[in-house]
Structure 1
Amino acid sequence: MSKAAEIDIVSVSKIYGATTAVEDISLKIPAGTYCCLLGPSGCGKTSTLRMIAGHESISSGDVRLGNTVVTDLPPARRGTAMMFQSYALFPHLDLVDNVAFSLKMKGVGKEERRAKALDMLKLMQMEGYASRRPAQLSGGQQQRVALARALITDPEALLLDEPLSALDPFLKIRMRAELKKLQTSLGITFVHVTHSQEEAMALADLIVVMNDGRIEQAAHPRVVFERPATAFVARFMGDHNVVSGRVSGSRDGMVVFDVPGGASLAASGQGRAIGEPIDIAIRTDHVRIGDPPATGLGFTGIASNVEYRGSTVKLSVNGAGIEDFTVIVDDTSFFAKPVAVGDAVPIAWDAEDAIVLGRLDS
């Protein structure tokens, strides 16, 4: 296998007519990283992947792979390989010829390319199916063949466009583990586009959260989960409550702010001007119910929904100026002091669990 390459995206934009799909993004993906581009539909993640691959031209900026600027190189000369969402296998060819296709296009002799294709099928535990056609395979098997075909060129980086989206939930989880294992054993750079937070958390060393053509945060999954950079990341990852207000002062190394039509809350942070808008994030599983809150670190609300989830219970609470505040409580604590819809619930959190969020300059 070839060595992994660092991917360096420098001030890259993609403009289609009057629409900016990707706006001036810069990102370094270290060699040998499993990177997931994550975000909602239309956020620019697939356009970014296709620009790295060379299937989409770059409006401005550069892409570098290792020491080579590949901005103007055709896909076949970049040292990348792309696996498409649809797998795009040739229905009339057997698996060996499907996998060997790119080597055939490069003029590699029949014996050599078929031998290499069989090696790749072996790597995917698919050698027993070598003489079959794609239509005779399950979705998971077709995916392995598509992976073998992408990897036969010894790429320095493998680019995957929503590779698990067509699979059923159980197979998704199994293939997720196999992709991670494959990336670890090959040691090459993987760049994987997904809209699933769970998939990105399970696979990535580096999560790049995109929104509206820009990068909101690029960090290790644990950092993205525990310290979201912006309100968008906190909401999109789904594990934080976001509360917005205006700064009203400071106290004991904390910033104090007022929620419109509601409470006065506090969060760890300083240096904020009075009247300035502020967003804070509070982890859903770091909130306690039933405790009277310390000043600015909680409120009393009305339970609007209770969902039993087995090991945890999810509560939705509405307070003055705060709607649908989510609390995840372990089942033992909840059933020791159960709460019903309509009950008044005091909820509280610790100062270090209230994070002041940044804002992207618009």
Structure 2
Amino acid sequence: MSKAAAIDIASVSKVYGATTAVHAISLKVPAGSYCCLLGPSGCGKSTTLRMIAGHESISSGDIRLGNTVVTDLPPARRGTAMMFQSYALFPHIDVTDNVAFSLKMKGVAKDERRAKALEMLKLVQMDPYATRRPAQLSGGQQQRVALARALITDPEALLLDEPLSALDPFLKIRMRAELKRLQTTLGITFVHVTHSQEEAMALADLIVVMNDGRIEQAAHPREVFERPATAFVARFMGDHNVISGRVTAATESGVTVAVPSGGEFTATGGVREVGESIDIAVRTDKVRIGASDAPGLGFTGIVDNIEYRGASVKLTVSGAGVQDFTAIVSDAAFFAAPVKVGDAASLAWGPEDSIVLGRLDS
């Protein structure tokens, strides 16, 4: 297998007529890493992947793969391989010939290309199905064949466009483990587009959260989870409450924020001016039921919804000018002092669990 290559995206834009799909993004994907482009539909993640692959032209900027600027190279000369959302297998030929097809196009002799195809099928644990046609395979098996077909060209980077979206939930989890195993075994760079936060967290060394054609944050999953860069990331990842207001007091260690017609909250980090608009985030799993130890680190509100989840209970509470505030508490903590919808409940958290969020320059 060929050496992994780093991918360097430098001020890359994609414009369709009057619409800008990708706004001058810059990103470095280290060689041999598993990168997930994550975001809602229409955020520009698939367009970015297709520009890396060469299936979409670049309006401005450059893409470098290893030491080569590939901006104007055709897909076949980039050192990348693409696995599409629809596996696009040829129905009339067997699995081995499907995998070997790109080598056939390059003029590789039949015995040699079929031997290489079998080697790839072994890698994805599909060699027992080598003589079957695609219609005789399940969705998960077809996906493995599509993976083998992409990998047979010895790419320096494998590009995957929502590869798990067509699979059922149990198979998704199995295939996540398989993709991670393959990436670790091969050591090549993977760039994987998904709209699933769980999928990105499970797979990636580098998560790139995109919104409206821009990169909101590019970091290790733990950093994205624990320190979201912006209100969008905090909301999209779903593990933080976002509170918006104005700064009423600021020190080197943090700020006090007033919510319109509501309470005051404190948060750590970020030097801000008094009067400035600000977003702060509070971790949902760090909120506890009970009175606050310090001002600004809790509030009392009315319980809007309760979801029992087995090991945890999810509460939604509104009060102090904050709507739909989420707390995820352990089942033991909840049933020690249970509340019901319509009850007043006090919520509290620690100072380290309330952070100041940044804002993208637009």
TM-score, normalised with respect to structure 2: 0.99
Identify unmatched segments of 5+ residues in structure 2.
none
- Judged with a 3 Å threshold, the aligned counterparts in structure 2 of structure 1 residues 99 and 42 are, in CA distance, closer, same or farther, namely same
**Pairing 1:112-191 to 2, within 5 Å after superposition:** 112-191=112-191
- Residues 92-150 of structure 1: CA distance to partner in whole angstroms, max 9, x if unpaired? 11111100000011111111111101111111111111111100000000000000000
Please tell me whether residue 224 in structure 1 is matched to residue 224 in structure 2.
Answer: yes
Q: Secondary structure at the match of 2:267?
A: strand
Q: Aligned partners of 2:43, 2:108: CA distance in 1, in Å?
A: 40
Shift in Å at residue 251 of structure 1? 5.6
The 8 Å contact of residues 293 and 299 in structure 1, kept in 2 or not, is answered as: no
Q: Aligned partners of 1:97, 1:129: CA distance in 2, in Å?
A: 12
One-letter code of the match for 1:214? R
The 8 Å contact of residues 256 and 266 in structure 2, kept in 1 or not, is answered as: yes
The aligned residue for residue 308 of structure 2 is 308
Please tell me whether residue 38 in structure 1 is matched to residue 43 in structure 2.
Answer: no
Report the number of matched residues: 362
Shift in Å at residue 253 of structure 1? 3.1
One-letter code of the match for 1:166? A
Please tell me whether residue 265 in structure 1 is matched to residue 265 in structure 2.
Answer: yes
Q: Aligned partners of 1:273, 1:194: CA distance in 2, in Å?
A: 37
- Residues 39-97 of structure 1: CA distance to partner in whole angstroms, max 9, x if unpaired? 00000000000000000000000000000000000000000000000001001111111
One-letter code of the match for 1:161? D
Shift in Å at residue 270 of structure 1? 5.3
Shift in Å at residue 322 of structure 1? 0.3
Q: Which moved more, 1:298-307 or 1:203-212?
A: 298-307
The aligned residue for residue 68 of structure 1 is 68
Please tell me whether residue 26 in structure 1 is matched to residue 26 in structure 2.
Answer: yes
The 8 Å contact of residues 22 and 44 in structure 1, kept in 2 or not, is answered as: yes
Q: Aligned partners of 1:324, 1:223: CA distance in 2, in Å?
A: 25
The 8 Å contact of residues 293 and 347 in structure 1, kept in 2 or not, is answered as: no
Q: Aligned partners of 1:353, 1:15: CA distance in 2, in Å?
A: 40
One-letter code of the match for 2:273? A
- Judged with a 3 Å threshold, the aligned counterparts in structure 2 of structure 1 residues 204 and 270 are, in CA distance, closer, same or farther, namely closer
Q: Aligned partners of 1:292, 1:142: CA distance in 2, in Å?
A: 54
The 8 Å contact of residues 13 and 60 in structure 1, kept in 2 or not, is answered as: yes
One-letter code of the match for 1:148? A
**Pairing 1:268-287 to 2, within 5 Å after superposition:** 268-269=268-269, 271-287=271-287
The 8 Å contact of residues 46 and 193 in structure 1, kept in 2 or not, is answered as: yes
Q: Secondary structure at the match of 2:9?
A: strand
- Residues 296-321 of structure 1: CA distance to partner in whole angstroms, max 9, x if unpaired? 11111111111100000000000031
- Residues 188-207 of structure 1: CA distance to partner in whole angstroms, max 9, x if unpaired? 00000000000000000000
Q: Aligned partners of 1:77, 1:270: CA distance in 2, in Å?
A: 46
The 8 Å contact of residues 240 and 283 in structure 1, kept in 2 or not, is answered as: yes
Q: Aligned partners of 1:117, 1:253: CA distance in 2, in Å?
A: 59
- Judged with a 3 Å threshold, the aligned counterparts in structure 2 of structure 1 residues 72 and 160 are, in CA distance, closer, same or farther, namely same
Q: Aligned partners of 2:350, 2:254: CA distance in 1, in Å?
A: 12
The 8 Å contact of residues 15 and 59 in structure 1, kept in 2 or not, is answered as: yes
One-letter code of the match for 1:78? R
- Residues 188-230 of structure 1: CA distance to partner in whole angstroms, max 9, x if unpaired? 0000000000000000000000000000000000000000000
Q: Aligned partners of 1:312, 1:246: CA distance in 2, in Å?
A: 33
One-letter code of the match for 2:94? D
RMSD over aligned Cα atoms: 0.9
Q: Aligned partners of 2:44, 2:359: CA distance in 1, in Å?
A: 19
Q: Which moved more, 1:193-202 or 1:337-346?
A: 337-346
One-letter code of the match for 2:183? Q
**Pairing 1:226-265 to 2, within 5 Å after superposition:** 226-250=226-250, 253-265=253-265
Q: Aligned partners of 2:223, 2:85: CA distance in 1, in Å?
A: 28
The aligned residue for residue 110 of structure 1 is 110
The aligned residue for residue 292 of structure 2 is 292
One-letter code of the match for 1:121? L
Shift in Å at residue 295 of structure 1? 0.8
The 8 Å contact of residues 64 and 71 in structure 2, kept in 1 or not, is answered as: yes
Q: Secondary structure at the match of 2:8?
A: strand
Shift in Å at residue 293 of structure 1? 4.4
- Judged with a 3 Å threshold, the aligned counterparts in structure 2 of structure 1 residues 270 and 220 are, in CA distance, closer, same or farther, namely closer
TM-score, normalised with respect to structure 1: 0.99
Q: Which moved more, 1:170-179 or 1:123-132?
A: 123-132
Q: Secondary structure at the match of 1:58?
A: coil
Q: Aligned partners of 1:279, 1:53: CA distance in 2, in Å?
A: 37
Please tell me whether residue 51 in structure 1 is matched to residue 44 in structure 2.
Answer: no
Q: Aligned partners of 1:251, 1:2: CA distance in 2, in Å?
A: 53
The 8 Å contact of residues 251 and 271 in structure 2, kept in 1 or not, is answered as: no
Q: Which moved more, 1:53-62 or 1:123-132?
A: 123-132
Identify unmatched segments of 5+ residues in structure 1.
none
One-letter code of the match for 1:356? V
The 8 Å contact of residues 100 and 116 in structure 2, kept in 1 or not, is answered as: yes
- State, as a whole percentage, how many aligned pairs show the same letter: 80
- Residues 141-181 of structure 1: CA distance to partner in whole angstroms, max 9, x if unpaired? 00000000000000000000000000000000000000000
- Judged with a 3 Å threshold, the aligned counterparts in structure 2 of structure 1 residues 138 and 346 are, in CA distance, closer, same or farther, namely same
Moved beyond 6 Å, runs of 4+? none
The 8 Å contact of residues 162 and 193 in structure 2, kept in 1 or not, is answered as: yes
